[in-house]
Structure 1
Amino acid sequence: MKSFILLTVIVMLLLLSGCAPEESAVADIEMKSKEELSVMTDSYTREDYRHALSHVMDSAETFEVNPILKKWIIRTLAEEALYYHDDLTEAEILALSKERLSEDQAWKKAAEIKYGIVISDDELNDYIDNITKSYESPLQLAYADILGLTVEQLNHEFDQDVYEKNLLWEKLKPELEKAYETNDHHELVEKFNKEVKEAGE
C-alpha cells in the first residue's frame, strides 16, 4: 500500500491521459528515476512529505483561476515537488494543469457516451471506502495536512474525481478487451486514448 498514492497521482494522471508525451504541454519534463522515487516512498515520513509540499498552497494562490482548475494546479505543483527533476515555470504549470483537466473531462465523457459507463455517488463512495479504509500513507496524511483537510475529506472530496477515473477504468477495461481482443493494459490505454482524441476532433 505504500505505493498507493504514487499510483493514483502518477498512473491516473499520466498513463491514462489523452495526450501522447510528445504532444504534452511539457513534453521534455524530466522525471526522477524509479530508484529515487523508491527511496522516497520507502523512507519519507509524514513530516518529510509535508516539508516537501509546504510551498504548494502558497504557490497555487498566485494563480487566479476557477476552483476546478485550481485543484489541478495544486496537483501539478505537488507532482513537481515530489516527482520532477525540473522546476516548471508558472506558464508551464498552468498549461499542464489545463491540459490535464481537459483530458480528464474528455476521457470521462468518452467512457459514458461510447460505452455507457457512469458511476453513481453511492458506488463511488463505497469504492473509495473499500480501497482507503485500511491504510493511510505518510504522503496521504501530509497531502491532507497542507490542504487543511482530513484524510476522509481528501479522498471523498478533493481527490474524488481521481478515484472516479480509477473506477471508470476498472469498468471500461473489460469492454475494451472485448472490443480490441487483447488484455494488454498499455495497448488498451493507447486504443482508448485514440478514441478520446478522435471524439474531440
Structure 2
Amino acid sequence: MGISIFSILVVIALVFTNMRDDDLSEPIEKVTNSQVETKAVPEMTVGELKGILTDFQRDVAPQIKNDFERKLAERLYVEMKLFDESIDINRLITRATEQADFERAWLTHAKDEYGVVITDEEVDGWIERGPDAEVVESQRRYAEAKEMSVYELNHNYDRDQYMKWVVWERLIPLITERYEESSEQVLDNNRLIELYEKEVKDTL
C-alpha cells in the first residue's frame, strides 16, 4: 500500500491525495496555491473533468458503500485519468479501502499517543488563511466540475486533507522531541513523516 499524506503533486491545486505504490511520504511544506499551480499537472477543461467524474459515478461509486472510501477512490480515479494510467477498478477500490484505514489510524494515533485534538474552528481558520485566500484556476475548474463552490470544495469535500495539515503542524514539535536525541538522521519533514507513519502502521 502506498500512501502520500501530504502530496504536493496532487491533482489540481491541493485537492487530491497521491496514493502511489512506490511513494509513502512527501515533504510537508505549507505552500500557497500559486506554488502548487506550477507543478506539472495536466490541464483539463471543466467538461473533461465532468466526464471523468461521471465515469467514476457510473463504474466505481456504486461498488463502494462508505462515503470516505468513495471520496478517496474518486480522487485516485481522477488522478489516474489525468495521467492516462490504466485503471483496475478492483485494485483501485482495495487501495482506497487501505488508504481510508490508514487515514483513520493516522488521526487516531495523533489523539491517543500525542494528545493532539483540533477544533472545527482551527481547521476553518487554516483553510481561510490558505486555500480560500488564493484560489487558482485549476481549483475553480474542479469545483465547477463537481457543481460546488470553491468554498464548499475547500471546507467540505477536501476538509479531510486540510485537517491533517493542521494536526501535523501540532505534531511536528512533539515527534521531534521524541526522536531528536536518538535519531542518527536529520529530522527534516521527510524523516518526521517516516517516523510518524511507522508508528501509525505499527497500530494497524
Q: 8 Å contact 2:116–2:171 — kept in the other structure?
A: yes
Partner of residue 21, structure 1: 22
- TM-score, normalised to structure 2, is 0.74
Distance 1:73 1:191, change over 3 A: same
What amino acid maps onto 1:184 in structure 2? D
Q: 8 Å contact 1:177–1:183 — kept in the other structure?
A: yes
- The structure richer in helix per residue is 1
Listed as ranges, the gaps of 5+ residues in structure 1 are 24-36
Q: How does 1:71-150 map to 2 (within 5 A)?
A: 71-82=71-82, 84-150=83-149
| Partner Cα distance (2:40, 2:69) in 1 | 31
What amino acid maps onto 2:108 in structure 1? K
Q: 8 Å contact 1:49–1:138 — kept in the other structure?
A: no
**SS at 2:128 equivalent:** helix
Partner of residue 161, structure 1: 160
Q: 8 Å contact 1:111–1:117 — kept in the other structure?
A: yes
| Partner Cα distance (1:87, 1:148) in 2 | 26
Moved over 4 A (4+): 2-7, 12-15
- TM-score, normalised to structure 1, is 0.75
| Partner Cα distance (1:159, 1:185) in 2 | 22
Whether 1:55 aligns to 2:51 is yes
| Partner Cα distance (2:94, 2:120) in 1 | 30
Give the number of the structure with larger relative contact order, counting CA–CA contacts within 8 Å between residues 6 or more apart.
1
| Partner Cα distance (2:23, 2:92) in 1 | 17
| Partner Cα distance (1:81, 1:153) in 2 | 23
Whether 1:198 aligns to 2:199 is no
Listed as ranges, the gaps of 5+ residues in structure 2 are 1-7, 25-37, 181-185
The percent of aligned pairs where both chains have the same amino acid is 23
What amino acid maps onto 2:192 in structure 1? L
Partner of residue 32, structure 1: none
How many residues of Structure 1 are paired with residues of Structure 2 in the alignment? 175
| Partner Cα distance (2:39, 2:69) in 1 | 30
Q: 8 Å contact 2:13–2:138 — kept in the other structure?
A: no
Shift of 1:53: 2.1
1:122-146 deviations in Å (ceiling 9; x for gaps): 1111111111232111221111112
What amino acid maps onto 1:81 in structure 2? K
**SS at 1:139 equivalent:** helix
What amino acid maps onto 1:148 in structure 2? E
Across the aligned residues of Structure 1 and Structure 2, the Cα RMSD in angstroms comes to: 2.8
